[in-house]
Amino acid sequence: MILEQSPTEPGFVQDPYRFYDHARAGGPVHFWSEYGMTAVFSHEAVQAILRDRRFGREIPVEHRKAVPPHLAPFYAIEDNSMLELDAPRHTRLRRLVLKAFTTRAISALAPGIEALCHSLIDEFSGEVELITAYAQPIPVITIARLLGVPEEMAPQLLAWSNAMVAMYQAKRDRAIEDKAAAASADFATFLRGYVAERRARPADDLISELIAAEDEAGALSTEELIATCILLLNAGHEATVHSIGNAIPILLASTEREAWLSPERIDGTVEELLRYDPPLHVFTRYALEDVELYGHSFQRGEQVALMLASANRDPAGWNAPNRFDPSRKPQTNASFGGGVHFCVGAPLARLEMRIALRVLFERRPELALLAPPVYGDLYHFHGLESLPVRIRAEAPSSI
């Protein structure tokens, strides 16, 4: 079946879920003409292909095309990013990163994240745009602290990140490509100097831990270190900003918000928020061999769009999936991917969401939307372009 739907059409941008419902009703696999690739929509099929080693992130060598010269700085980073690699190199890089990006290291960030949330809320008064005033600073400043980069660099890191991740948007054009290439070059130059400094004078930060990480195949190269740091910022920032932003209107509409954010229920609430309106709607794979699955013949080298958000709304996976219900029994959703490429930053994203949402509604339970939320033209990301709210003045916290 061939599907027709522009991913930049305003109605789709605001509510892609109706399209997903229509697609799933016709079967799990279709060719999406405007997106230019085969797309997989059902919960079962998406989860299966995420874990199927016959599909990977690296395009088979005979299908690779030369990199346009103007994009060389961008792909110099992509070529060393573990997100874009398969075994054995992906296995090595991920193992080294996990030696530094530990559960203990992530948990140690909690007090700082909570203090940051309070300090941001202390500045709220009257009318506030929550994406730029709250959802954006939390993950960017947290990643800066984790890496050991000066906190005052956060706005520059954000600018570089925004320019680079725009490459994955359906509206990508030459202007976006040029900005991404320039940001890639500047970001890499900055990190190369910072890595050299940390090699000479290690500190208590993730860059120093990554430099020290080593296995039987050796340590991370400088280029691999740069790509890893950029991946942690770009993937972590973009997803977490949208996760927090998308969650706020959903919780504002709930009469049981206080109960859902209680200590005993907040973990389930965060998982349901991620299932119900995730920040990333598509993750691609390449067929590494000819494969027959779900009535479709995948050809080696064929790029496949795994429709994560559609899988999360599949009635075959969830009862009444279009209803926000944090009381659901825990079940694996597709929001962080799956298989060997399951998001390495998922524990940090969940931690940031738990703290940011709890603190916001504890401190400002009276906040109210000033206008209906509007999603940005960001596909395959899905996030609000702004979130204006009205907030009563409050004395600063003692945190």
What is the Cβ-side half-sphere exposure of residue 288, based on CA atoms within 13 angstroms? 12
| Percent of all residues in the chain with a pLDDT value above 70, rounded to a whole number | 97
Residues 121 and 360: beta-carbon distance below 8 Å? yes
Each domain of the chain, given as residue ranges in start order, spans 2-391
Q: What pLDDT is attached to residue 392?
A: 72
Q: What pLDDT is attached to residue 202?
A: 94
Cross-strand partners of 39: 30, 305
Q: What pLDDT is attached to residue 218?
A: 79
| 3-state DSSP assignment of residue 197 | helix
Residue 155: cis peptide before it, omega within 30 degrees of 0: no
Positive or negative, the CA dihedral 134, 105, 198, 89 is negative
Q: In whole angstroms, give the CA distance from residue 228 to residue 98.
A: 11
Q: Which residue from 281, 273, 265, 280 is spatially nearest to 248, judged by alpha carbons?
A: 273
Per-residue pLDDT tens over the stretch 340-392 = 999 999 999 999 999 999 999 999 999 999 999 999 999 999 999 999 999 87
Residues 110 and 355: beta-carbon distance below 8 Å? yes
Q: In whole angstroms, give the CA distance from residue 282 to residue 275.
A: 13
Topology annotation, domain 2-391? Cytochrome p450 (1.10.630)
Q: What pLDDT is attached to residue 394?
A: 54
Q: In whole angstroms, give the CA distance from residue 267 to residue 355.
A: 11
Q: What pLDDT is attached to residue 365?
A: 94
The DSSP result for 270-337, as a single string, is HHHHHHHS-SB-EEEEEESS-EEETTEEEPTT-EEEEEHHHHHT-TTTSSSTTS--TTSPP---STT-
Q: Dig out the tokens for 137 from the structure.
A: 């600073």
In the chain, % helix, strand, coil (3-state, to 5) comes to 55, 15, 35
Q: What pLDDT is attached to residue 176?
A: 98
Question: Which residues in the chain come in under a pLDDT of 50?
Answer: 395-396, 398-399
Q: In whole angstroms, give the CA distance from residue 145 to residue 152.
A: 10
Q: What pLDDT is attached to residue 393?
A: 57
Cross-strand partners of 285: 304
Q: What pLDDT is attached to residue 216?
A: 66
Q: What pLDDT is attached to residue 167?
A: 96
Helical pair 154-165 and 174-200, crossing angle rounded to 10 deg: 140
Residue 394's identity, in one-letter code, is E
Q: Dig out the tokens for 355 from the structure.
A: 């703290």
